[in-house]
Structure 1
Amino acid sequence: MRVLQIINSLGTGGAEKLLLDTIPLYRAQGIEMDILLLWDNDTMFTRELQKMNCCKIHIIKKSNRIQDIYNPFAIFKIAKLLKQYDLAHVHLFPAQYYVVFANLWNGRKTKLVFTEHSTYNKRMATPILNILDRLTYCFYDKIVSISKDVSLALEKHIPTQKQKIILIENGVNLEKIENASLISKNEIHPNLSDTDFVLCQVSAFRAGKDQLTLIKSLQYLEEKFKIVLIGDGSESEKEKIIECIKHLKLEDRVFLLGIKSNIYSIIKSVDINILSSKFEGLSISSIEGMASGKPFIASNAPGLAEMVKGYGVLFEIGNQKELAQHIVDLSIDSSYYQSVVLSCKLRAAEFDSAKMVAQHIQLYIETYGSK
């Protein structure tokens, strides 16, 4: 069976990281799997996948303009490539739409699987786009939900397609995290020292990730508390973050690290890992943060609450004061700190990538077998 993974790009993001980590695992299990990117700007994840030399990487457009992801003429190039594969596994918008149109152009000869990675998207709130969004799901043979919260959101959004929804929770390579080496705080950023109490958030710069709440929480914390933000993304969101840092005069306490290849070493070497999102699916960053051996704090948001409740620490979405208090509580109570660490690691152990890959392979076999 020949499977083509299709995604907008291999920029920073949970879905992108998931493919980077798991394509070699599918290959090792005998699945002939390649990947198609709508756009690429020589990203770190693309380079890492190229170094592995484990699959073909098809790229529709190489450019410096991320807007090229939205070029509808990509549909015809996708259609040509689809003919070479038995099944396509699609992730994110607009790939979600373009692959449907491409497969229709080909007479629906390729089986389609789509993974829904979030509990919410902006199209749901726009009447015309809401209808179009629901229509596209009709042309997928199976729809993978990555968490129970995502399943509930999908069942509400596309009730007529409920029978197609399959729950397969995300997973990470826990062994890689366990084996990652510790580094000094000065190695994380030159302006950090081992006396600093370092908070870390790994997430793309998108409005839904809400890094601003984490940054604003520093107003209620002592000078020793510092933040490192790992990731990249929307330039407009990045500008808002930089503007907020300058406005609050936090330039010496908040550091933007960009995209890092040693993320596991960093999350194991900071003091607390945090995710302040307004909504999620089943965040790869949350699993990695909980597996890091450090406490994990998250907003009580759809997708995150399901993962973290009863294990890590939750705070009300956007409540910077409550977040600050949780940080203080962990910093002054070593017993509480260690109990949260232990609970988080136990929770993360449930989400190993090998389990997820095996479930996907079974889904591919069942879906293609119904052809």
Structure 2
Amino acid sequence: MALEILSTTSDLNEYGGAQKVLLDLHNGIKHKYNCKILGFIEFEKLHPKYGIRQAEYVKFANPFYLNNKILLVHARNIMALIMVIKRMFFLNTRIVYIAHNVYNTHKHFSFFPCDIVSISKKVTHNLLNYFNLKNRKITLIYNGVKDQGDANPVVTFKKQQTIRILYSARVIDVKRQLLIVNQLKGKLHPDIQIVFAGKGPDYDQLVEKCSDATNFKALGFVEHVDELVKQVDFLMLFSTQEGLPISLIEGIMHGKPLLVNDVGGNLEIGVPNFNGIELTDDWNELADKINSIVDLSVENYQLMSQNSRKHYEAMFTYNVMIDNYIKLIDSL
């Protein structure tokens, strides 16, 4: 009889990176195991972009449903609930926590099982040194995405006057879109445009701030973001908190160089002086660093583009991620 695997997280009504990884992993292993997605909302409220079939979804109701199953938990905010339920009802449930982010809060109110997957070296460091989980089994498995790119990406850099930078993320405080517009308005070269893709609680404010700024454009939720990635020259993230951003992996899949700060696993995807340009938290230096891409030669850009594609193929492919999770599950 096949192992029964439940994958769960919070906020399946919103479209986000950790939720997307959950779905990709679920779809990648269901040929081998009996897999379901466990949620806490009605099926009708699931985000339609996930494409979850009703037969694959279970809304949590009965604690004993978790018994004799392997539970892959993709969200810290439900770990305490899961751990309490397991102990209260004496369940034979093997829990694996997939750590998607670096945290510096609730240190003494966070609960972790014996088996943990870390999705970046920075996340591993956070688990070991902030949460002091040195007695846990922590396995590093990088996120991977299905290859929709070209082995020899087409270079668009400087073929048009405007150099376009895609900032693809949910529009919330930790992603700092509003701060970026406030701090960089009037400081960027006229040939540079930062394009924001995504929605969120701060989106309406972002639209207003971008309305009279030629260097910035807010697109909202983009249905086929892959097509947009192909059209831009760089991808950028300047968050205060990250794990291993899927948007950046999708960028290097298409051979795009990255503009990123040293948060979470950003520099593991966009390696400075290889396929990435590191951004500092000094706002004046940030403007200068972004403006410096105007002076980047097409030849150097092309080398960075090729390096991005090579880096994706070496570390962030979908099949490698799935194989690593299967090895882990079979070892439990």
Specify if TM > 0.5: yes
Q: Please name the residue that 1:66 is paired with.
A: none
TM-superposed CA distance for 1:228, in Å, is 2.2
Contact 1:315–1:323 under 8 Å retained in 2: no
Distance 1:211 1:164 in 2: 36
Q: Please name the residue that 2:319 is paired with.
A: 354
User: Alpha carbons of 1:81 and 1:161: their partners in 2 closer, same or farther (altered >3 Å)?
Assistant: farther
Greater fraction of residues in helix: 1
Counterpart residue identity of residue 217, structure 1: L
Across the aligned residues of Structure 1 and Structure 2, the Cα RMSD in angstroms comes to: 2.7
Contact 1:208–1:278 under 8 Å retained in 2: yes
Percent identity of equivalent pairs: 23
TM-superposed CA distance for 1:305, in Å, is 2.3
TM-superposed CA distance for 1:358, in Å, is 1.3
Q: 1:274 aligns with which of 217, 224, 236?
A: 236
Contact 1:300–1:314 under 8 Å retained in 2: no
User: Alpha carbons of 1:343 and 1:31: their partners in 2 closer, same or farther (altered >3 Å)?
Assistant: same
Q: What is the DSSP-based 3-state SS (H/G/I as helix, E as strand, rest coil) of the residue aligned with 2:302?
A: helix
TM-superposed CA distance for 1:36, in Å, is 1.5
Q: 1:341 aligns with which of 299, 305, 319?
A: 305
Q: Please name the residue that 2:328 is paired with.
A: 363
TM-superposed CA distance for 1:244, in Å, is 4.2
TM-superposed CA distance for 1:78, in Å, is 5.8
Q: Please name the residue that 2:121 is paired with.
A: 148
Distance 1:321 1:177 in 2: 35
Counterpart residue identity of residue 35, structure 2: M
Matches within 5 A, 1:71-150: 77=61, 79-83=63-67, 86-123=69-106, 130-133=107-110, 136-137=111-112, 140-150=113-123
Q: What is the DSSP-based 3-state SS (H/G/I as helix, E as strand, rest coil) of the residue aligned with 1:282?
A: coil
Counterpart residue identity of residue 12, structure 1: Y
Q: Please name the residue that 1:293 is paired with.
A: 255
Q: Please name the residue that 1:211 is paired with.
A: 177
Indicate whether 1:225 and 2:192 are aligned.
yes
TM-superposed CA distance for 1:113, in Å, is 0.5
Contact 1:201–1:275 under 8 Å retained in 2: yes
Structure 1 residue ranges (4+ consecutive) displaced by more than 4 angstroms after TM superposition = none
Counterpart residue identity of residue 176, structure 2: D
TM-superposed CA distance for 1:4, in Å, is 0.4
TM-superposed CA distance for 1:155, in Å, is 0.6
Q: Please name the residue that 1:329 is paired with.
A: 292
Q: What is the DSSP-based 3-state SS (H/G/I as helix, E as strand, rest coil) of the residue aligned with 2:135?
A: helix
Indicate whether 1:26 and 2:29 are aligned.
yes
TM-superposed CA distance for 1:351, in Å, is 1.1
Q: TM-score, normalised by structure 2?
A: 0.85
Distance 2:311 2:282 in 1: 25
TM-superposed CA distance for 1:143, in Å, is 0.9
Distance 2:289 2:309 in 1: 19
Contact 2:162–2:193 under 8 Å retained in 1: yes
Distance 1:321 1:291 in 2: 30
Q: Please name the residue that 1:241 is paired with.
A: 206
Matches within 5 A, 1:2-41: 2-10=4-12, 11-28=14-31, 30-39=32-41, 41=45
Contact 1:282–1:303 under 8 Å retained in 2: yes
Contact 2:66–2:91 under 8 Å retained in 1: no
User: Alpha carbons of 1:176 and 1:106: their partners in 2 closer, same or farther (altered >3 Å)?
Assistant: farther
Q: What is the DSSP-based 3-state SS (H/G/I as helix, E as strand, rest coil) of the residue aligned with 1:94?
A: helix
Distance 2:125 2:242 in 1: 13
User: Alpha carbons of 1:42 and 1:151: their partners in 2 closer, same or farther (altered >3 Å)?
Assistant: closer
Distance 2:28 2:207 in 1: 38
Q: TM-score, normalised by structure 1?
A: 0.76
Counterpart residue identity of residue 108, structure 2: I
User: Alpha carbons of 1:212 and 1:347: their partners in 2 closer, same or farther (altered >3 Å)?
Assistant: farther
TM-superposed CA distance for 1:218, in Å, is 4.7
Structure 2 unaligned runs (5+)? Answer: none
Contact 1:39–1:59 under 8 Å retained in 2: yes
